[in-house]
Amino acid sequence: MKEELGGRRADEEEEERTHGPTEKERGEEDGQRQVKLRSGGEKDEEEIQMMVTFRDKTGNEAMDGRALISASSSTFSSFSFLSSSVCRGSGEEDEVRISLVTVEDESCPSEPFGSTNIEPANQVSPTEDEGGKEEERGATVEGVKGEEDEQLQMKRKLDHGPDGRPFPSGKKHCKGNGYLSPSSLAQATPTTFGDLRLANGHSAQRRRVTSGPPPSGLQDWLLTFQAWSGPERLLALDELIDRCQTSQVKHMMQVIEPQFQRDFISLLPKELALYVLTFLAPRDLLRAAQTCRYWRILAEDNLLWREKCREEGVSECLPYRSRECVRPGAAISPWKSAYIRQHRIETNWRKGDEREPMVLKGHDDHVITCLQFSGDLIVSGSDDNTLKVWSAITGKCLRTLTGHTGGVWCSQMTVATVISGSTDRTLRVWDAESGDCVHTLYGHTSTVRCMHLHGNRVVSGSRDTTLRVWDVLTGRCEHVLTGHVAAVRCVQYDGRRVVSGGYDYMVKVWDPETEVCLHTLQGHTNRVYSLQFDGVFVVSGSLDTSIRVWDAETGGCIQTLTGHQSLTSGMELRDNILVSGNADSTVRVWDIRTGQCLHTLQGPNKHQSAVTCLQFCRGLVLSSSDDGTVKLWDLRTGAWLRDVVALQSRGSGGVVWRIRASDTRLVCAAGSRNGTEETKLLVLDFDLDGRKQETDTK
């Protein structure tokens, strides 16, 4: 048999030298990718798949006879199974059909090109007559001779287009060995772009231009093009593109590009796909979830959203779902729900909505002097000698706490325990849920002007110049701190140290256990009205217009912050960022470590009167004023965002006295000094949608 194959090959080479390739042979080359050998014995490596069909002399397939072999052209030397395993025992008249498929760029062959975008492979097809089959078999065997020194290799290449970019696809790679039978591959492999479009499920009529009848000679031109070899076609296309107008090139791109797009996310293993998605911003993840069903499954991954929540500072996985699933039975990631809820709350804070604030009317026309809220309870104290407990959900006054014989000037609250200080020189401990007065704390000899609660201890400061440390559970006075020579106006307590500021221009640091004054911080030239203490730094605000930063351990003054023009009435400290409100109608943001003023919150939308109170949370600054407004500012940029509250009587006597804010609520105490605005509380809830869904779930 070898002699016969060798003889036919020699006859074929002689025929080519004499007459050259025929027209039919050139046409067959168009559909084939040939194995080329470099001079000097070095071969170009291509990936080759051999599909071998064994037929007996009756034409039936033997041994269910197909095998798929991947190797490089440089490794084909000899196939011993052709001469030994296969030919032996099958008889001389048994038919051996060999098809070579060269695959430079391979994808999952289980799906047609266009879904998985398999690079069209060129297949050497057997001729119809037996002599043609013998010639093809001889050419195949002869072309791979002389390569016995290399081993059979298998390598898989990624799909890439002409520009080196990967082709996206809408489906995942096959699992398992990744191969189907050669017959399925041959049937699924398109040979022209038109076949590719049909394999992708597109109509062949899609791109027909309706500008008129086709030009004369079009069919002849197409037949000529089809007769050319591959390189000749490429050259012709290059010349054609150079002669096209921009609109015509754009038309070609619109036709071609969609056929070579691949969904690379769906092609990756789930772990890698999720890793890629971690680089997307949450907003982009939400958009990606709308791409297709598989992307939605990935974008709902709970661990992925937990990481996004961590990046955004969301620390709790909320127990309720933010919205109903579009598809019944499809679960929404709890962490995704938590993120969406926080995003909605943030948007409500920054942009607001059309909902009117809930109005809680009480205390008649008296001034609300202090305000606290915890959970769904709000507690307001007034100079009418009472405190009122309100429901933040319904807006109803649940109970009125009576017992003080003088105006209430300060209060603190933890869970349902309320402590109040009054001009009647006492402190009272209340149970906000029952309305009972648990303890009455006697000891001060003048108005209790300030207090600070930490754990089960509260420290009170009085106009009698002393501070007292009380046990809230027992109602017992544990320590008395003396040293100020004027009224104590403000106090801070972190459980270890007490810091106080007074009308004697002094700031003092105390050890409450020993009742010793550790440091007297001197530097202010007027009354000290406000304090902040984080355990390391003490920050004091004074009527002398300055703010001073002190080291709590050494007592040294680290920074003097200047810029305000009047009394600093309130401050908030987080890490090294300080926000201060002043009677000069401005709010300033400082870096206490450098002493730099980062922002002055003013401009066209600034307050028109003294700042009465401020808070900052969620990267936002809230400030209230005698001008009857509550303004919202961006802490990072210092930009005014909006007026959260604007009283009808603003500018003509309306005042917002106090504000308290949590992540989801804002409570404002408002009224007037001339009767133009009735005393009331305004409650704004920025998580109403979430609470409604939580209630519906229950």
Q: What is the pLDDT of residues 571-582, one digit of tens each?
A: 999 989 999 999
Model pLDDT, residue 481 = 97
Pair 303, 443 in one domain: no
Pair 396, 472 in one domain: yes
Distance CA 537, CA 558 (A): 9
Q: Which of 351, 377, 410 is the last residue of a domain?
A: 351
Note whether residue 400 is domain-resident: yes
Pair 554, 610 in one domain: yes
Model pLDDT, residue 629 = 95
Q: List all residues 6 or more positions away from 431 whose beta carbon is below 8 Å from its beta carbon.
A: 416, 417, 418, 438
Q: Is the pLDDT assigned to residue 164 strictly greater than 80?
A: no
Task: Tell me the whole-structure pTM to 2 decimals.
Answer: 0.64
Closest to 669 in 3D by CA, of 453, 403, 363, 355: 363
CA 579 to chain centre: 29
Note whether residue 608 is domain-resident: yes
Note whether residue 307 is domain-resident: yes
Pair 668, 559 in one domain: yes
Note whether residue 605 is domain-resident: yes
Note whether residue 102 is domain-resident: no
Pair 679, 641 in one domain: yes
DSSP string, 62-83: EEEEEEEEEEETTT----HHII
Pair 301, 421 in one domain: no
Domain total in the chain:
2
Note whether residue 329 is domain-resident: no
Note whether residue 535 is domain-resident: yes
User: For the segment 388-447, what is each residue's pLDDT rounded down to a tens digit?
Assistant: 999 999 999 999 999 999 999 999 999 999 999 999 999 999 999 999 999 999 999 999
Model pLDDT, residue 7 = 53
Q: Is the pLDDT assigned to residue 1 strictly greater than 70?
A: no
Pair 344, 363 in one domain: no
Pair 293, 438 in one domain: no
CB 420 within 8 A of CB 428: yes
CATH number of the domain to which 281 belongs: 1.20.1280.50
Domain that holds residue 665: 358-685
**Two tokens at 626?**
């005698």
Contacts 24+ apart (CB under 8 A), 378-385: 378/667, 378/681, 378/683, 379/411, 379/413, 379/418, 379/432, 380/669, 380/681, 381/408, 381/409, 381/410, 381/411, 381/420, 382/407, 382/408, 382/679, 383/407, 383/408, 383/409, 385/422
CATH number of the domain to which 489 belongs: 2.130.10.10
Region label for 446, one of left (φ > 0), alpha (ψ between -120 and 50) or beta (otherwise): beta
336-345, 591-600, 608-617, 685-694: segment of lowest average pLDDT = 685-694
Pair 606, 556 in one domain: yes
When pLDDT is cut at 50, 70 and 90, the band that residue 618 belongs to is confident
Pair 479, 553 in one domain: yes
Note whether residue 139 is domain-resident: no
Q: Which of the two residues, 195 and 536, has the higher pLDDT score?
A: 536
When pLDDT is cut at 50, 70 and 90, the band that residue 616 belongs to is confident
Pair 594, 553 in one domain: yes
Q: Which of 351, 376, 398 is the last residue of a domain?
A: 351
Q: Which of the two residues, 165 and 457, has the higher pLDDT score?
A: 457
Q: Which of 351, 379, 401 is the last residue of a domain?
A: 351
Pair 367, 340 in one domain: no
Model pLDDT, residue 436 = 95
